[in-house]
Structure 1
Amino acid sequence: MKKFIANRLAACLILFVISGSCDRDSQIVSLSEEGFREQLDQSIPEWMDRYGVPGVSIALIKNGELTWSEGYGFADLEKQTRMTSETVCRVESISKSVTARGVLKLVERGEIGLDVPVIHHLNRWDFPGTAVDVERVTIRHLLSHSSGLTLGTLGLEYAPGEEKPSLRESLSREVRFVREPGARFNYSNVGYHLLELLIEDVTGRNFSEFMQEEILNPLNMEDSSYEWSDDFITPVPNGHNLKGEPIPVYVYSEKGAGGLFANAEDNARFVASGMVDEFYSVENILAEQSIRELYTPVTDVSGIYSFVSEHYGLGYFIETLPNDQKAVFSGGQGNGWMTHFHLVPETGDGIVILTNSSRSWPLISHILSDWAEWNGFGSVGMRLITKAVNWLWILIGLILISSLWQITRITRGFVKGKRKLDLQIKNYSGIQFVQLALFLILISVLIWSVTRDYLMITSVFPGVAGWLIFALFLFAVALMLSVLFNKNQEWKI
């Protein structure tokens, strides 16, 4: 009977998740643009409250043009400063897509070639000693994260105005290879720092200055900059870490991979300029063929990124939608920040989402899922996060039910005298040794997890991850009680 009840509860949880999702999807598809905006006005604050996200800024692109933008929540909780679509934010790795435009600008001018070794264009700096043949590292490799370079050290943050290493000093410290150039996808901030140096050495200009004059200003991104300024159109908000604690504004010593400051509207102008076919603008800073080059797959995506994307081009992740259209996207994650944009170049549709919290992946997934459904795309890879949250809750429920059931059985057996405490290891059966080993492994993993400053699972699944840790702890307790009070009986659920 107890097993039957547990199975029924699990089935109900699964049906509830599936039916709720289907109902919501069918409602969103039929909404007008105004209706979808109203839907977002209702849903985004609810998701912000659910996941503990202080502020969100969002912008929509239709038919290749910015049509709507809005801010929700707070840019500054202490001062109760509202987040708006004009609030200048750290956009983190969205910077890479913008930097890629700068590199393609030089390609169009004939100053560099995508398949030329990057070392041929670098002055007054050379690769640190390595067994890898650096002549094989091309500009295309760097743009597509297939250079074999390491990710780079995370958390090297500086207060605005604080003394920091030069770009060349940083590269001499950070440039390290983890595999041969061209072997496979390996996400690398360092690669984009090299592209930053490439732009400076080829043009003889400061990277931030070049990007401002050649990319940002021509796209009317006049409130954006790779250079920190006290004169931004709005103060830059604090970020907020996984615990919700404020993170003061910081900068990196490098800029090409994650140094851009921009608001949602400027990001939307950038996204809108990335359309093709009938939505390509003749006022674009790049030729349409160059825009298409950015979206041409160079390498298959591997690792955790493969769950949401199939390929990587030049500064963009690439996925094939259920209707066989191509979507491209980029996102950023820093200390206290999460950002994202998605676009379908052939349809002129795009969306930008900026948040000042490290707890935002599920929220971003919800927004993208609704946006994709509303546009008739069916789904996007990032929707996997929303689905995974639902299935994690089901898993947590099952673990809690089974653990509490076992603990209850053991307690009842002890009270009735059918079980007794036995601390003599020599008396343990084989199944008890297995349970003891599982307990030790699980407890070790849990202790390691809770002592980390950052865990990917906590970042992707805030709130849920805490319950999962609790459920696994309770499961470990049930295992240990089975060892101590279940001398000759097998572990049954």
Structure 2
Amino acid sequence: MNKTNDVPERTQRLNEYSQYLARKGDLNGSVLIAEQDQILMSQGFGQANMEHHVPCTPKTKFRIGSITKSFTAVAILLLQEKGLLHVQHPVATYLPTYPHGDRITLHHLLTHTSGIPCFTNLDDYNNTLKSPSKLEDTIARFRELPLEFEPGTQFNYSNSGYVLLSYLIEQRSGVDIATFIQQSILEPLEMMDTGYDDARSILSHRASGYEMSGGVTFHAEYIDMSIPSGAGGMYSTTEDVYKWDQALRKGQVLSPDSWSRMTTPYLEDYGYGICVMPDQINGLVDTVMGHAGEINGFLSDYRHYVQADLTVIILSNLTSTSPAELSKQWTKIVLGEELDTYHIPDAIS
């Protein structure tokens, strides 16, 4: 298939393929695909609440998991722009009693190179999910653990680093992280359908999270959303994530220097709260910026192809979905690369 500039045709193909995925049970959530600032598809598939048969729509709010890290990183950079901290300073500059704080910088926390063990990988993590946890209490779960390696020498994805960054944001800004993000980012960008989640609050258009095992779908295990904080505690919609993508790339949030720091690929192609990696489309190398997310009952994938100027966002409330794989297939449809045979339904072959 050759790429065509016929937007309706490509939109039809995207819709047909997505409907096919939904019928198979491989897609449950909301999807937004845009090229060169033109939205090709923004649609919901499947159920936001399966018990009440509430369909997913572009307005459905999903927990976005680790896409939250991009907001946390931006908050740190905004505080740096205000002179309230610096990413190259050691943690001990702001938290003098933190173990190994003289060797760990904020840059290490942002890039997962601190050596601090990830608390969500600890043996007792599943026993702590249901109880509210202050940031200080969550940090206490890992602060005395030995480092896994010398800071800056290796990459090991660690939610602990972003929880510690959340605490630093609160200490340096004087307000809780949810308030800082709301006032400094969400309100200026008019991202009215994004925020920090709290299961006790009534939130319109909130999706329920589901898992699947042995062909049976069931409610995901409860997690108190105070635990993930700046590592994964936010909710959003596909439309708001698209606003976020555009605002970052168009310089509406950060200074050019801060954006450059954020999007520099360090170890393992990880920047500040965002991945920056090479990919191949139609035999040409492109740069992809984005992040995936996973939290009880929810999966997400957000990616922007820089040279193609293509953004693909999927937020799902069913963990049997494969967002990264689906994003690749939608990208192939938009840019004219042939789908693998087993991905092609009869309707669009």
Offset of residue 345 of structure 1: 4.0
Would the alpha carbon gap of residues 168 and 315 (structure 1) be closer, same or farther in structure 2, given more than 3 Å must change? Answer: same
Counterpart CA distance in 2 for 1:141 and 1:44 is 39
Deviation string 1:358-383 (CA, Å, 9 cap, x unpaired) is 1112x54133233155236x69xxx9
Q: Match for residue 360 of structure 1?
A: 321
Rounded Cα–Cα distance in structure 1 between residues aligned with 2:190 and 2:128: 28
Runs of 4+ in 1 over 6 A off after TM superposition: none
Rounded Cα–Cα distance in structure 2 between residues aligned with 1:33 and 1:147: 45
The structural deviation recorded for 1:344 is: 2.7
In the alignment, what sits opposite 2:329? 369
Aligned partners of 2:265 and 2:277 also within 8 Å:
no
1:149 and 2:149 correspond: no
Amino acid in the other structure paired with 2:334: W
Deviations along 1:216-239, one digit per CA (max 9) or x if unpaired, are: 222221111114263433133233
Aligned length: 331
Q: 2:273 aligns with which of 315, 325, 331?
A: 315
CA distance, structure 2, for counterparts of residue 81 and residue 289 of structure 1? 44
Partner residue, 1:256: 230
Give the TM-score taking structure 2 as reference length: 0.85
Task: Name the counterpart of 2:347.
Answer: none
Q: C-alpha separation between the residues in 2 aligned to 1:106 and 1:347?
A: 32
CA distance in 2, matches of 1:249, 1:63: 39
Residue identity opposite 1:194 in structure 2: L
- 8 Å Cα contact 2:95-2:101 kept in structure 1: no
Distance 1:106 1:346 in 2: 30
How far apart, CA to CA, are the structure 2 residues paired with 1:84 and 1:158?
33
Write 1 or 2 for the structure with the bigger share of strand. 2
**1:40, CA displacement in angstroms?**
2.0
- Structure 1 counterpart SS, 2:241: helix
Partners of 1:352 and 1:64 lie apart in 2 by 14
Distance 1:135 1:264, change over 3 A: same
Distance in 2, Cα, partners of 1:374 & 1:188: 34
Give unmatched runs, 5+ long, in structure 2: 344-349
Separation in 2 of the partners of 1:288 and 1:47? 40
Which residue in 2 is equivalent to 1:211? 181
- Residues 1:191 and 2:161 are matched in the alignment: yes
Partner amino acid for 1:36?
A: R
Shift of 1:163: 4.9
Q: Distance in 2 between matches of 1:111 and 1:66?
A: 38
Match of 2:206 in 1: 235
Instruction: Report the residue type matching 1:342 in the other structure.
Output: R
**Greater relative contact order: 1 or 2 (C-alpha under 8 angstroms, separation 6 or more)?**
2
Q: In the aligned structure 2, how far is the partner of 1:185 from the partner of 1:136?
A: 15
Instruction: Find the structure with the greater CA-based Rg.
Output: 1
Percent same amino acid at aligned positions? 24
Paired position in structure 2 for 1:340: 301
Change in CA separation of 1:375 and 1:100 when aligned onto 2, cut-off 3 Å: farther
Mapping of 1:434-453 within 5 angstroms? none
Contact residue 131 and residue 224 of structure 2 kept, 8 A: no
1:294 Cα offset (Å):
1.1
TM-score (norm: length of structure 1):
0.62
Q: How has the CA–CA distance of structure 1 residues 327 and 182 changed in structure 2, closer, same or farther, with 3 Å as cutoff? A: same
- Aligned letter for 2:173? T
- Counterparts of 1:114-133 in structure 2, within 5 Å, are 114-122=87-95, 126-127=97-98, 133=100
Amino acid at match of 1:351: V
Aligned to 2:67: 94
> For each residue in 1:48-96, what CA deviation from the matched residue of structure 2 results, as whole angstroms up to 9, or x when unmatched?
343x346220112333465642101111112110001110111011111
Q: State the partner residue of 1:289.
A: 257
Match of 2:51 among 75, 78, 94: 78
Partner of 1:137: 104
Q: Distance in 1 between matches of 2:127 and 2:48?
A: 20
| Corresponding residue of 2:132 | 164
Q: Which has the higher helix share?
A: 1
| Alpha-carbon distance in 1 for matches of 2:64, 2:235 | 6
Task: Write the distance in 1 (CA, Å) between the matches of 2:316 and 2:46.
Answer: 10
Q: Is the 8 A contact 2:301 2:327 kept in 1?
A: no
Go from structure 1 to structure 2 and tell me whether the alpha carbon gap of 1:251 and 1:264 turns closer, same or farther (over 3 Å shift). Answer: farther
**Aligned CA-pair RMSD:** 2.7
Contact 1:31–1:374 (Cα < 8 Å) also in 2: no
How far, CA to CA, are the matches of 1:55 and 1:366 in structure 2?
11
Q: Are the counterparts in 2 of residues 223 and 232 from structure 1 also a CA contact under 8 Å?
A: no
Q: Distance in 1 between matches of 2:331 and 2:47?
A: 23
- In 2: Cα distance, 1:256 partner to 1:149 partner: 16
